[in-house]
Chains A and B, each alone.
Chain A
């Protein structure tokens, strides 16, 4: 807060300035931006590469050996082809980025919004509201989520899979945010600066948005940076169990699961989606770290 007073700039502005000066943030940010751009420009990119996600290229695979690709990377198929079918890996990775990012980011967003709201309400309001919400959180968190996601997704096979996946993935993860937020809210509530603001006659809304929320952004951001990649992983697990997006729609999760069996024979097919996943996760984490540092009002670097 002292920083804000001294420079007279808004906290958001300060955060942005800080981010610009942080090489890790720039690195993470550019990778995230790159993947988002790739996802958005997928049709353009595949038009340039000349192969779409679905066409089988039988000339690229050796039928007699169970469909092993002849070449790893080539001018024809930039990232090689999928064993067995001969579908272009570049096209599938590029389109897969769309689905994987969409599902994981959307599920995280829903989770964070719902979780923060519930957690703040519980921690700040206390009393009976807290008890009820906490019990609800306990209840949802006690559900072995993978089993339930699987069961739920297989009961409703005909709905829009993407929306369904987002809904079900956030349904079981909001309490994790809520719990962190509640815990932080509880401990912050009794801190000097909040007490001071309250004694100073600040309104409830002011306390919530000006004092509590900014202080909560750190832990919540840590959660977000871990939740996006974790959700990509959940999407992968669900695809693996047969309740993910419908084939032939590609997603990184499906690719990773398909390629797992080929990791020795066609390592490139296994490494490409793994690397994409690794880079995305790394980038989000770097960005999130930097963002947290930048947003922290108590963080004084100079």
Chain B
């Protein structure tokens, strides 16, 4: 789980900014999407969130990892636009939040204007102003407040040398002609700018309430709840923000009166408590993933199973290989390994089908029109004979020794890979690292060699949130290289990426990403392993629990309520 933490909501929008098409964000077809679950929940009650961790950053300028992005945006602050609170494909739709529309485009996509709704207030009753949204965006540039979303920083005009409001004053490319209007001037056309504006950076922070680094610990609320108390790593209590106007906010139901977050519990204890479903735990949910070890207890008991959710996350687990060093600089050898891996064994170690599907392409099914792609048609347990034959053709002589880097938590998964590769004469030495240093280690291009277990998650439903970040050779950075871990530099792939960027027909672009995916399966800089699911449990008196596709399968906190 720790493996993914740093990767959720990755800056996959980066590449798409060159698009320049006139079309806005993709709207899902009206007839798709499940019905919202039957809710008997009325207003009131206390919802308890049981967590094995503290929030990393709740400051909207710094909040960019998934569970707390969902939490912050649904409870504590509103952004200019947001995603719909619906199960299934309907959740992919962007709707206005603080703003009256999802943004007005001008100048071919280089200027975006948003107008705030009337009567919006903070928790103390003071009005929310356009300048406060601008101020928080400026804060997000400050090196004192690192960690937040990056997209806007790369496209706003004249922002390259900007160091935030504490050092550089105001940023000229964001204009607030009056208290209700905010105008963004961009370096280049960005048709998908409304997607950016769903992020916490586009939430308001009034200058008078800014406490810089300390703002993380006490966020000034513009959302339906405010912080009553927060002891980091232990407990947070939210109570209603009486100045929040439900009429202005169709996206958030805000049903419970109080929300209590208990932190620092062991996940296995959380699972056991939610399975037992006693007393206060009946109105509780888990914050992080249920342990794979708890699946048997859950799936064997129909009553518990009914409270189990495992929405697909839009993430692909991969095995990355350093394509610049031997033996993985040999494309034929890499391709042979596609046939050597026993993905079924890997999937089983991860927790079986409840934890994820076997991946046969890089793009998760949600990005290829809901249909899983499988161009190579390799059996789930691998094809050892074919693999051996391909290795012989590649000219790499076996046995060959290679290293596999993995984080501590994934060591059993790594042994599944080790065991499959042994079948074809590839001897794997497993190196495990603390999660704290794992990404620094494999992201250091000078030091990384061999293979690494890795994963990627979508930010929004398009192939552009996947392929360019994983396989564009121009995104490689010397240190902290976090996307193209394989160090894959292939001119043909890069040309194709540019070609798709230039497309204005998003349907055709989607198709082109799927084709590029198939071509990459042949070049095999990485090997897809599983498409993950998000396993979660809710107590029997929790209503409105469903995995939200945008929040990578997390419960949509906006819809959660407590049955009375």
For the A-B complex, the count of residue pairs with Cβ-Cβ distances under 8 Å equals 102
Interface residue? B299 (CB, 8 A): yes
From known contacts A84-B292, A247-B411, infer whether A61 and B348 are also in contact, taking CB-CB under 8 Å.
Answer: yes
List of 9 A-B pairs having minimum Cβ-Cβ separation, nearest first:
A242-B408, A66-B295, A261-B293, A65-B296, A66-B351, A68-B296, A248-B415, A84-B349, A247-B411
A247, B351: Cβ atoms under 8 Å? no
Chain-B contact segment, one of A34-42, A52-60, A96-104:
A52-60
Q: How far is the CB of B64 from chain A (nearest CB, A)?
A: 26
Closest to B441 in A: A157
B296, A55: Cβ atoms under 8 Å? no
Q: How far is the CB of A96 from chain B (nearest CB, A)?
A: 14
A66, B434: Cβ atoms under 8 Å? no
Q: How far is the CB of B272 from chain A (nearest CB, A)?
A: 8
Neighbouring B residues of A68 by C-beta, 8 Å: 296
B299, A65: Cβ atoms under 8 Å? yes
A120–B351 Cα gap in the complex (Å)? 55
B293, A85: Cβ atoms under 8 Å? no
A56, B416: Cβ atoms under 8 Å? yes
Report, as a range, how many residues of chain A touch the other chain. 20 to 34
A242, B412: Cβ atoms under 8 Å? no
* Chain B interfacial residues counted at CB < 8 A: 40
B415, A85: Cβ atoms under 8 Å? yes
Q: How far is the CB of A208 from chain B (nearest CB, A)?
A: 45
Neighbouring B residues of A154 by C-beta, 8 Å: 433-434, 437
Closest to B411 in A: A247
A84–B268 Cα gap in the complex (Å)? 17
Q: How far is the CB of B426 from chain A (nearest CB, A)?
A: 14
Question: Which secondary structure characterizes the binding site on chain B?
Answer: helix
A261–B272 Cα gap in the complex (Å)? 11
A246, B352: Cβ atoms under 8 Å? no
A65-B300, A85-B345, A242-B407 known, 13 other contacts, Cβ within 8 Å: A55-B419, A61-B348, A63-B348, A67-B349, A68-B296, A84-B351, A85-B348, A157-B433, A241-B434, A247-B418, A247-B432, A258-B412, A265-B293
User: Which residues from 21 to 41 on chain A have a C-beta closer than 8 Å to any C-beta of chain B?
Assistant: none
A62–B419 Cα gap in the complex (Å)? 19
Interface residue? B311 (CB, 8 A): no
In the assembled complex, 30 residue pairs joining A and B whose CB atoms fall closer than 8 Å, in A order, are A54-B415, A54-B419, A56-B345, A63-B344, A63-B352, A64-B299, A64-B353, A65-B295, A65-B300, A65-B352, A66-B293, A66-B348, A84-B348, A84-B349, A84-B412, A85-B348, A85-B412, A85-B415, A241-B408, A242-B408, A242-B409, A242-B432, A242-B434, A243-B432, A246-B431, A247-B412, A247-B414, A247-B415, A261-B291, A264-B272
Q: How far is the CB of A124 from chain B (nearest CB, A)?
A: 43
